[in-house]
Amino acid sequence: MTSDGVVIIGAGQAGFQVAASLRMEGYAGPITLIGDEPNLPYQRPPLSKGFIAGKQEIEATALRPFAFYATHRIDLLTGVKVTEIDRVSRRVVLASGRAIPYHALVLAVGARNRTLPVKGAELDGVCYLRTDAEAVDIRQRLEQARDVAVIGGGFIGLELAAAARTLGKSVRVLEVQSRLMPRVVSPILSDFYRDVHSSHGVHVSLGVVLSEIAGHKGKVIEVVLSDGSVYPADLILVGIGVVPNMELAHDAGLGVSNGIVVNEKLETEDETVYAIGDCADHPNPFANPSAGGRVRIESVQNAVDQAKCIAAAIVGRAENYRAVPWFWTDQFDIKLQMAGLSGGSAHVVKRGEPESRKFSVFYFRDGQLAAVDSVNRPGDHLSARKLIGAGIAITPEQAADPNVDLKALGH
């Protein structure tokens, strides 16, 4: 056996899971896990939830303690940048010049935040959230802040808005679309969440365009909208989506599109190179086939399940990736759980009423159940994972009828 092992670029949730799953699968070769951030691999979801709200400390986000990596013979390189993938000689080259050979290479390189393209975006007090360091910075700034403007009414923006409001700040959410979370949820949920945030005292401005951030002595003081309205803000939290990190793959001659392009086995066009997690543009059996059936998904579930899929492949059990997508978001005391992918769903029915704060929305695409979003209804969510995963037929009438037992249908 050669000393070439598995090299994983990216030490986020996906990269970490590949290393952990390889050892669980009994892989005995060298594993090198390379991350460009300085700390131990950690979970990102709590950063915009429990951590910002002050309910959790930053060290509690570590996926595993330091000792785990030595115990499992995982060579963890933190704060290290990869500069090149040499596919001909199968090595990755680090910024230091060191080269590490591989027989399988995993690109779990993630994504980075899209930045605001407006005047004043460089001012002190304009913050983005992706890393633990950014979360710590935002939490510290929140202690002093009075007026918080959140740019973007998506998951991250709304979670941050809820956390800031819970800390007693004056909070205004600015969303360019006419409703909240417009990319992923139905208007029923958008309206519900607008009401939830409003009832907690968050100001929600929809259909508004930020034109400028005004500052004084280098610090933000207000946001200016295209309709001329001006709101004071001493802290601006930006959550306007991400851009996948594709440069390394592109430079190595691999195909990129809405991410690093992979097939149903999560292999790039070079079968020794995989791409998984936030950066992977992959065919997904639950995606809208009319839109090409390909997606890039930013979630823990996607990161973990894709990691397990390729860890199994590396030890000789290659299978197509076909895990049901699921996701959750916590805002105030409300948990939204999502199963499936709703893209392309023309028919939507409710089960339960939003007023009760316990309801689900079922999305049908070409007559088939495509996705279910559940608010405080964990039973519906878990049934949905099963129904969607197994492709069990259910009609919109059954979905909307609270007397129909979803669990029984799933068996």
Contact flag: residue 269 with another protein (CB under 8 A)? no
3-class DSSP string for the chain? CCCCEEEEECCCHHHHHHHHHHHHCCCCCCEEEECCCCCCCECCHHHHCCCCCCCCCHHHHECCCHHHHHHCCEEEECCCCEEEEECCCCEEEECCCCEEEEEEEEECCCEEECCCCCECCCCECEEECCCHHHHHHHHHHHHHCCEEEEECCCHHHHHHHHHHHHCCCEEEEEECCCCCCCCCCCHHHHHHHHHHHHHCCCEEEECCCEEEEEEECCEEEEEEECCCCEEECCEEEECCCEEECCHHHHHCCCCECCCEECCCCCECCCCCEEECHHHEEEECCCCCHHHCCEECCCCHHHHHHHHHHHHHHHCCCCCCCCCCCEEEEEECCEEEEEEECCCCCCEEEEECCHHHCCEEEEEEECCEEEEEEEECCHHHHHHHHHHHHHCCCCCHHHHHCCCCCHHHHHC
Question: Applying CB under 8 A, which of residues 10, 15, 45, 283 lies at the interface with another protein?
Answer: 45
Report 22-41 residues binding another protein (CB under 8 A): 39-40
The Cα 383–Cα 151 span in angstroms is: 35
Nearer to another protein, 269 or 333 (CB): 333
Question: Applying CB under 8 A, which of residues 71, 198, 320, 356 lies at the interface with another protein?
Answer: 71
Which of these ranges, 104-112, 187-195, 310-318, 324-332, lies near another protein under the rule CB under 8 A? 324-332
Contact flag: residue 59 with another protein (CB under 8 A)? yes
Which of these ranges, 56-64, 143-151, 162-170, 266-274, lies near another protein under the rule CB under 8 A? 56-64
The least CB distance from residue 61 to another protein, in Å, is 8
The least CB distance from residue 24 to another protein, in Å, is 9
Contact flag: residue 378 with another protein (CB under 8 A)? yes
In sequence order, the β-bridge partners of residue 369 are 364
Question: Applying CB under 8 A, which of residues 28, 66, 133, 227 lies at the interface with another protein?
Answer: 66
Nearer to another protein, 40 or 104 (CB): 40
The least CB distance from residue 330 to another protein, in Å, is 8
Contact flag: residue 379 with another protein (CB under 8 A)? yes
The Cα 67–Cα 71 span in angstroms is: 6
Report 276-315 residues binding another protein (CB under 8 A): 300, 304
Contact flag: residue 381 with another protein (CB under 8 A)? yes
Nearer to another protein, 43 or 398 (CB): 43
Contact flag: residue 337 with another protein (CB under 8 A)? yes
Nearer to another protein, 28 or 60 (CB): 60
Nearer to another protein, 106 or 339 (CB): 339
Nearer to another protein, 112 or 335 (CB): 335
The least CB distance from residue 299 to another protein, in Å, is 10
How many residues form the binding site for another protein (CB under 8 A)? 28
Contact flag: residue 328 with another protein (CB under 8 A)? yes
Binding site for another protein (CB under 8 A): 39-40, 43, 45-46, 58-68, 71, 300, 304, 326, 328, 330, 335, 337, 378-379, 381-382
